[in-house]
Amino acid sequence: MPPYEALYGRKCGSPTNWDEVREGKILGPEMVQQMKEIVKLIQKRLLAAQDRKRKYADSARKYVNFQEGEELLLKVSPWKGLTRFGKKGKLAPRYIGPFKNLGQVGKVTYKLDLPPQYQHVHNAFHVSLLKKYNPDVKHVTEFKPIEILADMSYVEQPVKILDWKEKSLKNKSVRLMKVLWRSQG
């Protein structure tokens, strides 16, 4: 039974059935009783549909709990167009961090210890934006200090030529070289 017919007790007045002869309306307590039965039927069908949807949603849901003090990574891809975390563009990382977990705020919200550079970002995040950090030796990088001049520039010095090739254009040839620079390591 269509929803319009269930609510109003008659067919919808669409152009397809305008020419049909309409039935007389039922008046009195019979109509009220009929409407109550229809509303109960609709509520029963809505509950069945909600249970069905809940079953499918619960099968896909995973429950994650993080311990206090554990290191977590924060997903930044929902803010892809914004420079909220200083990362923007195609090659920006999906996760930043690791950050220390300060504890659980709600059922699905955790508070992170963010560095001062992210002071404009609220430090409570939904569990779907967090991922456990598994320490890896590849994640450790060594930073070598660079000598910066007074005009905020630095001098690059070549160490050695790694490879070269000669590219021929229409009327001349150009040498292309791959150079290892001092600050690149």
Residue 19, pLDDT above cutoff 60: no
Query: Whole-model pTM above 0.75?
Result: no
pLDDT score for 7: 75
pLDDT score for 94: 80
Neighbours of 114 (CB within 10 A): 20
Residue 88's SS3 state is coil
How many whole angstroms separate alpha carbon 90 and alpha carbon 81? 10
pLDDT score for 174: 93
User: Please, are residues 99 and 112 in contact by the beta-carbon 8 Å criterion?
Assistant: yes
**Starting from the edge strand earliest in sequence, which strands make up the sheet with 130-132, in order?**
124-126, 109-113, 95-104, 71-75, 130-132
DSSP state of 146: -
pLDDT score for 68: 94
Q: 113 vs 136, which has greater pLDDT?
A: 113
Tell me what the mean pLDDT of segment 141-164 comes to: 80
Residue 22, pLDDT above cutoff 80: no
How many whole angstroms separate alpha carbon 156 and alpha carbon 161? 14
Residue 83, pLDDT above cutoff 60: no
Q: Ranked by mean pLDDT, which of 17-31, 42-56, 139-153 comes out on top?
A: 42-56
